[in-house]
Copies of this chain bind each other. A is one copy, B any other.
Amino acid sequence: MTARPPLVLDPRDTVAILPERTAGGLDPLGLGKPLIQPLPAGHKIARIDHATGDRVFKFGQIIGTASQAIRAGEHVHSHNLAFSSHDETYVIGADLEIARAAIPQIEPRAFMGYRRGNGQIGTRNYIALCATVNCSATVVRKAAQELESSGLLDAYPNVDGIVAFGHGTGCGMDSDGLGAQVLQRVLWGHATHPNVGAAVFVGLGCEVMQVGRMKAQFGTDHADRFHGLTIQETGGTRATIDRIKKMVTDLLPEVNAIQRSSCPASALKVALQCGGSDGFSGITANPALGIASDLLVGLGASAILSETPEIYGAEQLLLRRAANTDTAEKLIAQIRWWEHYTRINHGSLDNNPSPGNKAGGLTTILEKSLGAVAKAGSTPLAAVYDYGEQVTEPGFVFMDTPGYDPVSATGQIAGGAQIVVFTTGRGSAFGSKPAPTLKLATTTSLYRAMPEDMDLDCGDVLSGDATLEEKGAEILECILAAASGRKTKSEALGLGDNEFVPWQIGATM
């Protein structure tokens, strides 16, 4: 078995990544400077000579400066690479022209979607049962289960299913607080999602979260698409389940009437996610997904980066490619909010590379965050959204969310994402509704260990069997196929009912 060649993530990079454990005495880049000790997979070696103070590039970005001279071929890590902690020198728009040049000029693409009367374009066609409060979680879940197992849906082939959105909150909360606003946006975003043909809101009756208030706040554009009832007015648990089933039964013919038709790829909003990251996330699946993101942007679609705690430390790079000042200022305000939120809760965002990260080859906080940001490619930051806010801008956009997978994806889907693409290294069993999730494995060993969960193997980037460019193009084809109705692995397993987790902010009282 011949050694795999080191991986160059971007032509501008001054380091390359070892794809596998490499013995001392070997010279993987053939630069005449053999390694003086064995190195684990994921570590960096220099492609060129660096003088003290020279900038070191990975992902096409600066990850730090040489703290001593580094010869081409040498190991690059904490002993010779330094970074002056978290850089808060924000230069808004400095790299905007470079970012604009990174948008690929490509031919339009299409997928087979559901074009709705109000102009929305869906990739799935669900009936949604939305609980306003935990007190109605059981009735929506039981109604959905009874409908799904009744055989009734067999007569409606264009309906993907009845999905129940139950959750743990909706009362015992400040009715005017941020937590209530966030939950409202999430419920409304799911009920009016392009992948939802009709929605039924179900409450207990006396809870803080009230449907009437949501209608008043968000308007009645979608009023014909949703319906509501409460357990207290309907006569209890069993009567409410029966009423929901009757309402859904009446809605099915109308929801089934829509057919897939050719829709422009520009209608897609694709949520970018990672969870259970490993040392290869930033080397294989994330940069490959970044290339797919650039292609989506070239097609006029939206690619939604999120997980604010995981981009912390790299926000100044996003700001350098911000399309305008308002967008940049919104991101800065979100970063400041997170510093406050974690401080009052005795947490910290300053998650410098941990011993485990360092053993895996990550040297600086910037390098770590860049591995996460790599999912978002290289194009301009077109817009910044709050959690669950409706995404309306094409291009690469950012939505403020926690990093925790179900909470983050729930916000992105509430914002209108019709597809989620999720990279994982340790392995994940995530799935979502009404927007399906595609899962990308960072290594072939993970792909083989969880074959029924992983949609795509990005480990062949490491083995040299695929370039990042080829992998990015393959991911785009997977996205278009899933958008056209091909079931993802997590859909085939029936995941997505328990992964609806609205972000809880504030006190539970």
Contacts and interface: CB of A to CB of B under 8 A. Distances in A.
A345 B431 contact: no
A1 interface: no
A160 B56 CA distance: 63
A168 to B, nearest CB: 4
A402 B206 contact: no
Identical copies in the complex: 2
Interface stretch (A45-53, A372-380, A444-452): A444-452
- Decide if the interface of chain A is mainly helix, strand, loop or mixed: loop
Contacts of A231: 427, 429, 450
Given A135-B428, A168-B168, A407-B172, A449 B206 contact: no
Interface stretch (A10-18, A84-92, A98-106, A137-145): A137-145
A497 B141 CA distance: 10
A344 interface: yes
Interface string A269-313: 000000110000000000000000000000000000000010000
A262 to B, nearest CB: 33
24 contacts: A135-B275, A138-B498, A141-B497, A167-B168, A168-B168, A172-B405, A174-B348, A177-B346, A204-B427, A205-B276, A205-B426, A206-B276, A206-B426, A206-B427, A231-B427, A231-B450, A236-B427, A237-B450, A237-B452, A237-B453, A237-B490, A402-B508, A403-B509, A404-B508
Contacts of A498: 134, 137-138, 141, 166
A325 interface: no
A136 interface: yes
Interface string A332-360: 00000000011011111100000000000
Contacts of A142: 494
A470 B278 CA distance: 64
Interface stretch (A74-82, A189-197, A499-507): A499-507
A171 interface: yes
A430 interface: yes
Interface in A4-43: none
A453 B136 CA distance: 13
A144 to B, nearest CB: 12
Contacts of A405: 134-135, 171-172
Contacts of A451: 235-236
A275 B205 CA distance: 12
A205 B507 CA distance: 29
A317 to B, nearest CB: 21
A472 interface: no
Contact of A402 (B134, B501, B509): B509
Nearest to A236: B450
A478 interface: no
Interface residues of A, number: 72
A153 interface: no
A223 interface: no
Given A135-B430, A168-B168, A235 B509 contact: no
A402 B504 contact: no
Nearest to A341: B507
Nearest to A502: B168
A347 B507 contact: yes
Contacts of A497: 138, 141
Given A204-B276, A342-B507, A237 B493 contact: yes
B509 A236 contact: no
A238 interface: yes
A68 interface: no
Given A309-B509, A404-B509, 6 more contacts: A138-B431, A171-B405, A174-B345, A177-B347, A204-B429, A503-B508
